[in-house]
Amino acid sequence: MFFTRTHECALTISTEEFKQRLIGKHVKIHNLDFEVMELDSKLNIVPHAEQVNEIKTLPITEIDFKQAGGKTNLIIKSKMRQLDAGGPQLIMIFCLFLFVASIILFVTSDDLKITLTFLGTAVLLISTFWYRMQTGYFDYVRKIREYVVTRIA
């Protein structure tokens, strides 16, 4: 999906030592608490958003370990919480609808005002939405990944 990010890196320490460094720790990003816990031999970084009053789109990060030869590869996968996925998906579908409608109108209609209005609205909405996602959701993803990678060293 659009909102899932995967990052890989190699461990210089053992898997068990890495897990001990992270399990039970709390990450504080933008005054929001994330907890690291182990689930099915993977590490999960889950947000504590019970006290948050404003609407936020937050990631759940899963850290998986893969053995490759004599070293361990770390796979960090961040995806949107199911609770938060509805709004961004609706915005993407609406923008897609406006974009397709503008293309159809461009081909079939002689009135460019409506066509360009639909296209302009779609571009404005998607650019505003993407900016907000970069400063919100993807910022959380980047900072969580940075936290995990700095714990390796």
**pLDDT tens sequence for the chain (153 residues):** 678 999 998 887 778 888 888 888 888 887 788 888 888 888 999 888 777 667 678 899 999 988 777 778 889 999 998 888 888 999 999 999 999 999 999 999 888 999 999 999 999 999 999 999 999 899 999 999 998 888 765
Tokens 């994330």 locate to: 34
Picking from 127, 138, 120, the residue whose alpha carbon sits closest to that of residue 59 is 138
C-alpha separations of 104 from 62, 66, 68 in Å = 41, 48, 50
Q: What local confidence, expressed as pLDDT, does residue 153 receive?
A: 54
Q: What local confidence, expressed as pLDDT, does residue 152 receive?
A: 66
Please give the torsion angle defined by the CA atoms of residues 108, 110, 112 and 115, in that order, rounded to the nearest 10 degrees: -20
For 64, other C-beta atoms within 10 Å of its C-beta total: 15
Tokens of 67: 């053995």
Q: What local confidence, expressed as pLDDT, does residue 1 receive?
A: 66
Model-level pTM greater than 0.85? no
